[in-house]
Structures are given as structure tokens and as C-alpha cells.
């Protein structure tokens, strides 16, 4: 069961953006720099190193932490929230949980500030090593969300948040998490809907306040204002929005919905912006399945003191611009044999996992997932672990043995956007027969799209994808060629159809469908590769 073949593929298991050199010898890179579901990026610098985090919503552990030396090549080094005490997700709805973090470095300490919309509200955690461990949350009694943290030159600390009317600035005591003054509305933005995602920067005697406007969809943008005083009034940049694809220049781009940005200054004095955007399945198709991803653009400060993003406020997949000295990262293996004592950082659970339902030591070389009574249709801690789909063109495969207690037990692979929109390639027992099924769940619609006799409790499962469709395969015995079960449109797992703020995850799961759990699924291999 260890032999699963892929063709015309390039390994992309580690998150690392490629770079290129144009005819003039000028370094460049490819966007997105962190592909797949990685929205709301926030970045900081400590010496020559950069660190970045993104929103994780109902997935656990929470808030991935990435490291880079050049802002182009990124490696995940951990998560901020790894303990249940830090991240209670019980009852978290799809796209609930953690919204819009900010990551900052101040006086030798790293700070992550965020909002758990499911419970607790605003908080911050600290660490001296961004790889962790991080402290338990200190809860902050501010009702508005999307918090940023800012230290003024006199040592005062402020939270900058999104309220109903616009952006608020509130002084905070970090020792207690309590406000030391009122929440003050300082700027409503330029008039776009949902002014959010605020960040404040101090430069050349001004407070620069950057925010997202237009909603995190196709009209998204980044705008900026400035003031001599932190509480305003803020003057709007005459070139707003400074970043958007909701115009003629950006309307045909493969990248849409750019906004929710953060800026950082490198040690050489150059400025850079990270921001979210999403790649549509094809120009003018207006569907995206990968979620909102992390992009990068250079920032200049021409005469007049306003930031200019990549010249005209738009970006491309190929960025032929000068970069920092590049530090390419070694790629991690595309094959997961489950021989290590823990899963890689790219793996995520849905909500707080029942840890006893997972083991890498029960049978050496296998990931054992014990079925829970919960199903993928429920906003519960189903027995599931998955990783992001990072490209449209990919192939994923897993080898599975199911020790089923009853015909209600199942296990397999899933492509899941949320608990009401997923495609499942699964193995279950029906009478004396082992069956492989392709099941569709789209809102209130659920049906078996295809079914075949598997022949035994051991199968190899495979999913291939491109921008428009997913294809599903199985092989019933060692060395047996794959049989295609069916093809399904990607659009029904898109954000435009399924809703929410996440992207498609490729998961391994086991469920007893409401009956007492206990059956065991053993996975002895997982592969994920993307085509060039």
C-alpha cells in the first residue's frame, strides 16, 4: 500500500515562494508568497528576520507563525495558540473562532493580538521566541474587533480596533488588559463599506493609519490616512485606495479581493506590504476555492509622504521587482509516511481535537484516527485532520485500512470548505461488501454521486484537481490501477457558493455517523503534490 505514483508534478509541500530573474538580471518573485488559506496577514521584523501570522478561524492549533529572511520565502515554525486553555473553540461555527491577528515585536518581546469571536473577545499573547511557547491570553475589555497594538514614543500602549462607525484608538494597560481611557473614534475611512483591519505606523512626525475597506470580497482595498496626533483628525491620502483590484487596471487579473494589509520596513530601509487576496479559477470566472492568500508588494514613499504600492496600487502573479537578498528554503518532502512522532505544522484539526482519537505510535508508520460520533456535517470536533489546498492543479493520495465495528463507520479523504460544503471519498462496509463512495454535501443537498465495490478493508484513495473540477479515484488492492469514481465542479466548494472566510482543506477523517465511536482508521501514507 506504500506505492502511489504521480506524474508531471513538482513538490510544494513546504510553503515557500519561488523567485525568478528577468532579462535585465533584476530579481523577482511569484505571488502569493504564502499560498492557500492564509488570510489577514500581519508582519513584523526582529533584526534581519521577519515573522508573520494569519487568521485561522475554527481550526486548531490557532494562528500559524511563519519566518522569513527575505519576505519572499516563508517557513512555518509553529502556531501561537497550541493549548486548549489558549484557544477554546467549543461550538465554533464555520468561519468563527480567530479573526484578524496582528503580530508585533517590542523591547525583545513578540506580541500577537487577536479576537476570538466565538468566546472571550480581544486578547494578546506574548513570547520571547516566536516559535513558542506563547503565553495564555490576556483578555482585553474592548468590544470592537480586528485589534492592532501600537506603542507611542512616550511609552503609551494603544489598541487600534474596528468599530461600527470606523476605527477606534484605546489606551491599554498591558499588565492587566484593562482600558486606561475611552475608546475614541478617530477615522471612518474614505467611505467604503466595512472599514476594518487597522494598523498604525509612526513615520516622519505623522501617525499613518492604514485600513481595509470595501469588504473582503471583490471590492476590497487598502486605504490610508495620517495625522500629527494619534487621536486625529486624520487626513485621507489623495491617492486612495493605495491598493485595490476593484478598478480597470485590476479587473482582469487572476488576483482579486486585495486588501487587509500590513507594512514593514526592512533593515536596508526599504518598505514592503503584505496583504490578502485570492486567485480566481480563471479571469472573470468570479469563483475562488483556495481561500484568501498572502501576497507581497514593494512600497515607495515619494515626495508628499504618502505610500505608493508597486507603482500603481496593483500586483501580479509574477513580480519583476528588486527584492531583498533572497534566502531560498529547502523543500519538505511531498510524501508523509507517518514515521515521525508528530504531524507537521501544516496539519490542522477542526476545533479542539479529542487527542485520544489520534495516534502515530499505536501502529508505527501509521496515523491512527479513531472514529467519533460526529460527522463532517456538524460544527463539532469531528475526528479530522487536514492541510490546505495551495494550488488549483494538484494531486493528493492516501492509503487506508479501516477496522470498522459496524456499517455506520466510515473513513476516507475529504475536500472541505465548511461543514455544509464538502466532497468525501470514503470507505465503508455494506453487509458483507466493502464499498468506496463519492459523496456530495452542498447545503441542504446530500447524495452519493458514485459507489463501487472495494474488495477489502484496504484501499488507496486519490484526488486530482484543476481550476474547474476535482476527479476522484480508488485502487482496491496493492498494485491495482486506479479506477475513476467521478468528477465534480470546484465552484460548489468556492467561497462564492459556500460562503465563509476559509479555503478548501484536504482532510483525513473517520466517523461512526452518530453511533458510538471506536472504529479505527489507519493511514499509512499521504501525498500532496502540485503541478507546474
Catalytically active residues are 40, 196
Residue in the structure block whose three cell numbers are 519538505:
332
Question: Which residues, in sequence order, are CB contacts of 375 under 8 Å at separation 6+?
Answer: 382, 511, 513, 514
DSSP strand pairing (520-531 vs 505-511): unpaired
Distance CA 413, CA 416 (A): 9
What would you report as the CA-atom Rg of the chain, rounded to the nearest whole angstrom? 23
Cis ω before 6 (30° cut-off from 0): no
Distance CA 491, CA 135 (A): 40
Indicate the helix (H) or strand (E) that contains 497.
Answer: helix 495-498
Per the CB < 8 A criterion, the answer to whether 58 and 21 are in contact is no
Per the CB < 8 A criterion, the answer to whether 83 and 58 are in contact is no
Distance CA 321, CA 329 (A): 20
Residue in the structure block whose three cell numbers are 467521478:
486
Per the CB < 8 A criterion, the answer to whether 53 and 41 are in contact is yes
The 8-class DSSP code of residue 56 comes to: -
Q: 3-class DSSP state for residue 491?
A: helix
Region of 513 (left: φ > 0; alpha: ψ -120 to 50; beta: rest) is left
C-alpha angle with apex 85: 80 to 90, nearest 5 degrees? 100
Distance of CA 18 to the CA centre of its chain: 19
DSSP labels for 387-448?
A: EE---SSEEEEEEEEEE-SSTT-EEEEEEEEETTEEEEEEEEEETTEEEEEEEEEETTEEEE
Residue in the structure block whose three cell numbers are 484608538:
169
DSSP β-bridge partners for residue 225: 209, 236
Amino acid at each position: 500500500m506504500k506505492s502511489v505514483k504521480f506524474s508531471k508534478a513538482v513538490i510544494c509541500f513546504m510553503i515557500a515562494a519561488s523567485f525568478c530573474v528577468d532579462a535585465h538580471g533584476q530579481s523577482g518573485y511569484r505571488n502569493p508568497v504564502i499560498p492557500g488559506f492564509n488570510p489577514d496577514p500581519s508582519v513584523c521584523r526582529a533584526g534581519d528576520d521577519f515573522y508573520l501570522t494569519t487568521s485561522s478561524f475554527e481550526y486548531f492549533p490557532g494562528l500559524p507563525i511563519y519566518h522569513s529572511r527575505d519576505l519572499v520565502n516563508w517557513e512555518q515554525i509553529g502556531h501561537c495558540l497550541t493549548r486548549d486553555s489558549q484557544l477554546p473553540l467549543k461550538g465554533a461555527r464555520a468561519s468563527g473562532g480567530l479573526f484578524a491577528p496582528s503580530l508585533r515585536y517590542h523591547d525583545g518581546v513578540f506580541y500577537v493580538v487577536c479576537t476570538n469571536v466565538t468566546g472571550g473577545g480581544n486578547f494578546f499573547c506574548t513570547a520571547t521566541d516566536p516559535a513558542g511557547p506563547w503565553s495564555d491570553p490576556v483578555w482585553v475589555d474592548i468590544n470592537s474587533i480586528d485589534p492592532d497594538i501600537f506603542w507611542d514614543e512616550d511609552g503609551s500602549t494603544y489598541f487600534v480596533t474596528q468599530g461600527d462607525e470606523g476605527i477606534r484608538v484605546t489606551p491599554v494597560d498591558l499588565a492587566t488588559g484593562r482600558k486606561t481611557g475611552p475608546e475614541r473614534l478617530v477615522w471612518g475611512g474614505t467611505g467604503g463599506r466595512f472599514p476594518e483591519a487597522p494598523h498604525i505606523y509612526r513615520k516622519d512626525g505623522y501617525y499613518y493609519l492604514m485600513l481595509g475597506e470595501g469588504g473582503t470580497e471583490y471590492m476590497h482595498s487598502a486605504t490610508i490616512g495620517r495625522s500629527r496626533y494619534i487621536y486625529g483628525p486624520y487626513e485621507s491620502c489623495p491617492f486612495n485606495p493605495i491598493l485595490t483590484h476593484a478598478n480597470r487596471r485590476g479587473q482582469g487579473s487572476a488576483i482579486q479581493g486585495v486588501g487587509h494589509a500590513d507594512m514593514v520596513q526592512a533593515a536596508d530601509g526599504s518598505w514592503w506590504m503584505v496583504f490578502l487576496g485570492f486567485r480566481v479559477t480563471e479571469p472573470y470566472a468570479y469563483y475562488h476555492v483556495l481561500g484568501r492568500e498572502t501576497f507581497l508588494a514593494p512600497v515607495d514613499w515619494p515626495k508628499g509622504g504618502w505610500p505608493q504600492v508597486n507603482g500603481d496600487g496593483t500586483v501580479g502573479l509574477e513580480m519583476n521587482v528588486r527584492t531583498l537578498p533572497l534566502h531560498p528554503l529547502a523543500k519538505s518532502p511531498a510524501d508523509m509516511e507517518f514515521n515521525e512522532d508528530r504531524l507537521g505544522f501544516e496539519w490542522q484539526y477542526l476545533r479542539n481535537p479529542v487527542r485520544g482519537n489520534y495516534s502515530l505510535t499505536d501502529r508505527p508508520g501509521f496515523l491512527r484516527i479513531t472514529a467519533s460520533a460526529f460527522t463532517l456535517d456538524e460544527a463539532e470536533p469531528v475526528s479530522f485532520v487536514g492541510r490546505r489546498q495551495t494550488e488549483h492543479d494538484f494531486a493528493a493520495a492516501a492509503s487506508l485500512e479501516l477496522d470498522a465495528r459496524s456499517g455506520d463507520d466510515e473513513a476516507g479523504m475529504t475536500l472541505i470548505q465548511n461543514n455544509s460544503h464538502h466532497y468525501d471519498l470514503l470507505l465503508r462496509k455494506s453487509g458483507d461488501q466493502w464499498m468506496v463512495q463519492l459523496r456530495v454535501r452542498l447545503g441542504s443537498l446530500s447524495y452519493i454521486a458514485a459507489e463501487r465495490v472495494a474488495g477489502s478493508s484496504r484501499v488507496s484513495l486519490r484526488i486530482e484537481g484543476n481550476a474547474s473540477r476535482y476527479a476522484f479515484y480508488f485502487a482496491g488492492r496493492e498494485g491495482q490501477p486506479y479506477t475513476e469514481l467521478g468528477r465534480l465542479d470546484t465552484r460548489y466548494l468556492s467561497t462564492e457558493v459556500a460562503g465563509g472566510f476559509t479555503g478548501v482543506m484536504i482532510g483525513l477523517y473517520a466517523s461512526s455517523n452518530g453511533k458510538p465511536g471506536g472504529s479505527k482508521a489507519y493511514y499509512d501514507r499521504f501525498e500532496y503534490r502540485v503541478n507546474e
